[in-house]
């Protein structure tokens, strides 16, 4: 069974750094793109970026480029999303999701990680 | 990239048919994907490539397309179908993944 299991909820202050994880199992990690999606009450679902763990090819949404970093560890079958300096507006639920073979849809999703940024 | 439009809400009685539309100029050229998100849960893919259903998705879920409007139909709605439904497409020049704002389906 394909599974994506994300790290737990985080509470951070503005300006702090954060790295959340997405551990995968049940398929060959290096053969599928993994994406990160943000969900907020006001803006719905937004795509942040994707990574191909096979060669670490990474693409970012222009809306988030420069503010986030996506990475992957092949030895751990795990993808990561990180921030070097959080803002209050980063508060959201973040999902990792595997992209389907056509690289057009998100066919399996993690359970989500709630990130709360508050001073 | 482009925008997708969905009605904010749809209400339907059990056993009836719910139709959720998603519109956008890009949909005439790009496939649409549909996700179901129940309260407190992650989204689940229920339709891909406009009309295809992943394994494990009940056959009461179906998709159709006509020009720039794509429709998710839930036939014989059940209480468990109450959820938010999001459409999604992709601008392959990026790629850029675009989600619709979501439609809340309420089962009366």
Kindly report, residue by residue over B11-39, the tens digit of the pLDDT: 999 999 999 999 999 999 999 999 999 99
Question: What DSSP designation does B76 have?
Answer: S
Is residue B94 very low, low, confident or very high in pLDDT (cuts 50, 70, 90)?
confident
- Which of A47, A109, A112 is nearest residue B97 as measured by Cβ atoms? A47
Find the closest chain B residue to A102 by CA distance. B49
Question: Other C-beta atoms within 10 Å of A53: how many?
Answer: 21
Asked if B48 reaches chain A (Cβ–Cβ under 8 Å), the answer is yes
Question: Other C-beta atoms within 10 Å of B82: how many?
Answer: 18
Task: Report CB contact under 8 Å: A106, B95.
Answer: no
Distance from CA of A45 to the nearest CA of B (A): 6
pLDDT one-digit tens code per residue, A45-85:
999 999 999 999 999 999 999 999 999 999 999 999 999 99
A57 three-state secondary structure = strand
Task: Report CB contact under 8 Å: B96, A109.
Answer: no
Average pLDDT over every residue of A19-30:
98
Predicted local confidence at residue B81, as pLDDT: 98
Q: Tell me how far apart the terminal alpha carbons of chain B are, to the nearest angstrom.
A: 37
Task: Report CB contact under 8 Å: A44, B102.
Answer: yes
pLDDT of B91 strictly over 90: no
Is residue B93 very low, low, confident or very high in pLDDT (cuts 50, 70, 90)?
confident
- Which of B44, B48, B101 is nearest residue A44 as measured by Cβ atoms? B101
Task: Report CB contact under 8 Å: A109, B102.
Answer: no
Find the closest chain B residue to A112 by CA distance. B42
Mutate one of A105, A109, A111 to test the B interface: name it (highest B CB count within 10 A). A105
Predicted local confidence at residue B92, as pLDDT: 77
Cis peptide, bond prior to residue B95, ω within 30 of zero? yes
- CA A7-A103-A61 angle, to 5 degrees, is 65
C-alpha–C-alpha distance, residues B108 and B106, integer Å:
6
pLDDT one-digit tens code per residue, B27-82:
999 999 999 999 999 999 999 999 999 999 999 999 999 999 999 999 999 999 99
Please, what is the average pLDDT of chain B?
Answer: 95
Is residue B1 very low, low, confident or very high in pLDDT (cuts 50, 70, 90)?
confident
């Amino acid at each position: 069974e394909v599974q994506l299991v994300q790290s737990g909820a985080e509470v951070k202050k503005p300006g702090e750094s954060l790295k959340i994880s997405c551990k995968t199992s049940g398929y060959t990690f290096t053969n599928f793109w993994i994406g990160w999606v943000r969900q907020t009450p006001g803006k719905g679902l937004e795509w942040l970026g994707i990574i191909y763990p096979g060669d670490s090819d990474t693409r970012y949404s222009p809306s988030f480029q420069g503010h986030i970093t996506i990475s992957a560890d092949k030895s751990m079958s795990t993808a990561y999303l990180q921030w070097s300096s959080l803002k209050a507006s980063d508060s959201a639920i973040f999902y990792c999701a595997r992209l389907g073979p056509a690289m057009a849809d998100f066919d399996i999703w993690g359970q989500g990680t709630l990130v709360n940024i508050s001073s | 990239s482009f925008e997708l439009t969905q009605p904010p809400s749809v209400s339907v009685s059990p056993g009836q048919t719910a139709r959720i539309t998603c519109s956008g100029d890009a949909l005439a050229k790009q496939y649409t994907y549909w996700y179901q998100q129940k309260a407190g849960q992650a989204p689940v893919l229920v339709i891909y490539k406009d009309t295809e259903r992943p394994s494990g998705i009940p056959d009461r879920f179906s998709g159709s397309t006509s020009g720039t409007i794509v429709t998710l139909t839930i036939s014989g709605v059940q209480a468990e179908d109450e959820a938010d439904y999001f459409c999604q497409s992709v601008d392959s020049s990026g790629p850029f993944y675009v989600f619709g704002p979501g439609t809340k389906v309420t089962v009366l």
